[in-house]
Amino acid sequence: MSEIEIESRNLDLWYGSAQALKNITMAMPEKKVTAIIGPSGCGKSTFLRCINRMNDLVKDCRITGELLFEGTDVYGNSVDAVELRKKIGMVFQKPNPFPMSIYDNVAYGPRVHGLRNREELDRIVEESLKASALWNEVGDIPDRSAIDLSGGQQQRLCIARTLAVKPKVILFDEPCSALDPISTAKIEDLINTLKHDYTIVIVTHNMQQAARVSDHTAFFLLGELIEFGKTKQIFELPEKKSTEDYITGRFG
């Protein structure tokens, strides 16, 4: 049994008066991949964005309950969202590289956190590009604009950029939904490698993907957590009828 890294307890979330998350209680273990599945609008992204407090940016967003990271409530008074996000990285649905060079994209995080030493930066950039399986493709063109890369390369660059900050957790919000099958396969391979060092939470609409990459799966429906368990069990022996219906494509 591995340690629990992230745990939500009775988490409720409202956007204005609309409740988007209802009493979510689940625990995500360390260095495992947890997949979140469910139909569009069921609150997957919302839940993911609670973990690194990206919902702080949304006006009129109100949260009750607890969200523990390493045992501390991330919404507690003593927690600084900026510090928290150094430990909990996020990769978004749409690749969003900065309009800068490849190098500057990866070095952005370390620089923002005060690193100036060029050799150290070089080392981190190389490491991160290697870890995101991009080094072979862009290692010799670090000064090229990131905007010129393909969508799949851009997404791996975004992963490299996240790795460069050395987080403990990486949140993926449908990282492959804008990518072709080959790029998708590369990202999935990458996730399978990264899970040895990072705790990963991934939102996906792709059932096969959830089955391939995750250890645990959570099924959300209309803001509620319907079922959470080992991926194998969720896919082979779901306890709830709605889970089974969703997985087998009978609704969604």
Ligand X SMILES: Nc1ncnc2c1ncn2[C@@H]1O[C@H](COP(=O)(O)OP(=O)(O)OP(=O)(O)O)[C@@H](O)[C@H]1O
Q: Segment contacting another protein (CB under 8 A): 2-10, 17-25, 86-94, 198-206?
A: 86-94
SS3 231: helix
165 near 89, Cβ under 8 Å? yes
SS3 55: helix
Residue 54's binding partner out of Mg ion, another protein, ligand X, none, with CB under 5 to 8 Å set by partner kind: another protein
Report the residue from 2, 3, 25, 94 that binds another protein according to the rule CB under 8 A. 94
By CB under 6 A, tell whether 139 contacts ligand X. no
By CB under 8 A, tell whether 113 contacts another protein. yes
Who contacts 41 (Cβ-Cβ below 8 Å, separation ≥6)?
none
Residues 148-207 that bind another protein (CB under 8 A): 148, 158, 161-162, 165
State how far the Cα of 112 lies from the Cα of 108, in Å rounded to an integer: 6
Residue with smaller CB distance to ligand X, 103 or 228: 228
State how far the Cα of 59 lies from the Cα of 56, in Å rounded to an integer: 8
State how far the Cα of 13 lies from the Cα of 24, in Å rounded to an integer: 9
State how far the Cα of 195 lies from the Cα of 50, in Å rounded to an integer: 21
Residue with smaller CB distance to Mg ion, 88 or 202: 202
Residue with smaller CB distance to ligand X, 103 or 172: 172
| Helices H / strands E in the chain, number of each | 10, 10
Q: Segment contacting another protein (CB under 8 A): 63-71, 78-86, 128-136, 206-214?
A: 78-86
Closest separation in Å from C-beta 225 to another protein: 24
By CB under 5 A, tell whether 105 contacts Mg ion. no
By CB under 5 A, tell whether 55 contacts Mg ion. no
By CB under 6 A, tell whether 42 contacts ligand X. yes
205 near 177, Cβ under 8 Å? yes
Q: Segment contacting Mg ion (CB under 5 A): 37-45, 49-57, 75-83, 95-103?
A: 37-45
Closest separation in Å from C-beta 238 to another protein: 32
Query: Contact positions toward another protein, by CB under 8 A?
Result: 52, 54, 57, 59, 82-86, 89-90, 92, 94, 96-101, 108-109, 112-113, 145-148, 158, 161-162, 165
